């Protein structure tokens, strides 16, 4: 018997050559596409490389006397029987007991639906597949020498069939993983398009490693369900009705703190809460005038404080109020002096709710940078503003997962109090999932 590789243009040409050279009793044990010619892999013609196992070579000029195996070569080659035994689950189970190593993940091929491929598994699988191909090439000559001088037994033929089956399994797994990688990349691109962060995206894709991702993955209910679950784990909702005592609003310049405070005040007024407003935003005259207008319309008392001492006195005079809303000046998170001043006011207030406002149209990386600089003020609630100025939810959920702040509400316009929403988990998650799977 012998193993030979033929390079042909088509399978039909291969079959004709196999019949001419080996007769009808040959086996095709592997096929693969190759390129020949070209320049450094560019160009060249496409061919098919066919590996053939034959019982007898009709045209062979092989001389058994010239191919006697040198004694010292025997330790460096494998028979076909050895090759099959060395690539079975039984062999690795025995090896595992001897060397106390884990069985390679690519051997778990008994149930395709249970395959799990992490990044390390993928690397290990590709490496092992190459090793199998290499061993087959190296064992071909030894196999030829061993069986050329005698007729093949029934066991020899069975061994060749087992080898063919093993190669088909390896090829099948390899194709499955290549397809998975292609469609996983499609999911990754979609999440990036919807402004999800790299960290969030990679974490989610790792949760899909045990699935067979199909080309029409948007119709795979299990992928949708897993995204819903991840979003659910990222989101915590703060009940607006629990808002009480001292509530402070912090955030960068231009985020919409004053308008949002007025919306909160109007909603609390509807709940028959006794409310007072304090502003320490004395940098912008327009902001104070704007807040005074809102306070007059709502019939709420307004107190303007210029120093931490003024703030302390105002707080002591408002102890019988249900809720005290405290507006602060916008601070650049890059200005340490301004942030230090805000810290002094915050320490005087000791707010029950220290609400951080973040603009929805800010990318996740900048949101995280802002949060990191405001984190020493210990915010414990979050409002996303300007939701009407963004078309995606990815940056919101990515930031929520990073900050772990509970979400109080979102604003989507300038109208007071209409453009303040207190969304449910179900509404937010449904909206976020739909934009990915539509």
- pLDDT at residue 268 greater than cutoff 80: yes
What is the rounded average pLDDT of the residues 406-429? 93
Q: Is 188 exposed, middle or buried (0-12, 13-18, 19+ CB in 10 A)?
A: middle
pLDDT in tens, 186-224: 999 999 999 999 999 999 999 998 888 888 999 999 999
What is the rounded average pLDDT of the residues 13-25? 79
Distance CA 310, CA 301 (A): 16
Whether the full predicted model's pTM is greater than 0.85, yes or no, is no
Model pLDDT, residue 60 = 44
Describe the crossing of helices 425-437 and 394-403 by its angle, rounded to 10 degrees.
130
Residues 6+ apart with CB under 8 A from 96: 102, 103
> By the 8 A CB rule, do 195 and 395 touch?
yes
Structure tokens at 103: 């069985």
Could you tell me the pLDDT band of residue 68, with boundaries at 50, 70 and 90?
very low
pLDDT in tens, 279-336: 997 666 666 788 899 999 999 999 999 899 999 999 999 999 999 999 998 655 555 6
Model pLDDT, residue 43 = 62
Structure tokens at 352: 């029950």
What is the rounded average pLDDT of the residues 366-393? 93
Describe the crossing of helices 154-193 and 198-206 by its angle, rounded to 10 degrees.
150
């Amino acid at each position: 018997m012998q193993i030979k590789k033929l390079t042909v243009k088509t399978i039909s040409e291969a079959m004709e050559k196999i019949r001419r050279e080996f007769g009808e009793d040959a086996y095709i044990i592997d096929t693969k596409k190759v390129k020949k010619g070209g320049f450094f892999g560019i160009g060249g013609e496409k061919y098919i490389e066919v590996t053939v196992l034959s019982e007898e070579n009709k045209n062979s000029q092989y001389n058994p006397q010239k191919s006697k195996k040198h004694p010292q070569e025997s330790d460096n080659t494998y028979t076909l029987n050895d090759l099959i035994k060395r690539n079975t689950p039984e062999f690795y189970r025995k090896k595992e007991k001897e060397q106390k190593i884990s069985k390679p993940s690519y051997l778990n091929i008994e149930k395709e639906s249970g395959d799990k491929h992490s990044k390390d598994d993928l690397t290990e699988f590709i490496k092992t597949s190459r090793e199998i191909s290499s061993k087959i090439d190296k064992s071909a000559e030894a196999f030829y020498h061993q069986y050329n001088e005698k007729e093949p037994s029934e066991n020899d033929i069975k061994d060749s069939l087992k080898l063919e089956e093993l190669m088909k399994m390896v090829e099948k797994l390899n194709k499955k993983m290549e397809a998975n990688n292609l469609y996983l990349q499609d999911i990754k691109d979609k999440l990036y398009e919807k402004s999800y962060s790299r960290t969030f995206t990679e974490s989610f894709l790792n949760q899909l490693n045990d699935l067979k991702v199909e080309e029409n993955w948007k119709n795979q209910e299990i992928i949708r369900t897993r995204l819903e679950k991840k979003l659910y784990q990222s989101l915590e909702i703060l009940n607006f009705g629990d808002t009480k005592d001292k509530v402070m609003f912090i955030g960068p310049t231009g985020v919409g703190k004053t308008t949002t405070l007025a919306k909160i005040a109007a909603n609390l007024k509807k709940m028959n809460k006794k409310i007072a407003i304090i502003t320490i935003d004395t940098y912008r005259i327009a902001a104070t005038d704007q807040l005074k207008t809102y306070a007059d319309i709502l019939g709420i008392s307004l107190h303007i404080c210029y120093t931490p001492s003024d703030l302390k006195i105002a707080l002591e005079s408002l102890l019988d109020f249900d809720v005290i809303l405290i507006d602060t000046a916008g601070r650049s998170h890059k200005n340490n002096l301004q942030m230090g001043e805000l810290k002094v006011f915050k320490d005087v207030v000791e707010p029950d709710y220290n609400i951080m406002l973040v603009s929805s149209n800010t990318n996740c990386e900048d949101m995280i940078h802002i949060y990191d600089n405001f984190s020493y003020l210990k915010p414990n609630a979050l409002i996303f503003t300007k939701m009407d100025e963004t078309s995606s939810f990815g940056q919101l959920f990515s930031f929520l997962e990073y900050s772990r702040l509970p979400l109080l509400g979102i604003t989507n316009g300038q109208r007071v109090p209409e453009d303040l929403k207190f969304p449910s988990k179900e509404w937010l998650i449904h909206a976020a999932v739909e934009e990915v799977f539509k």
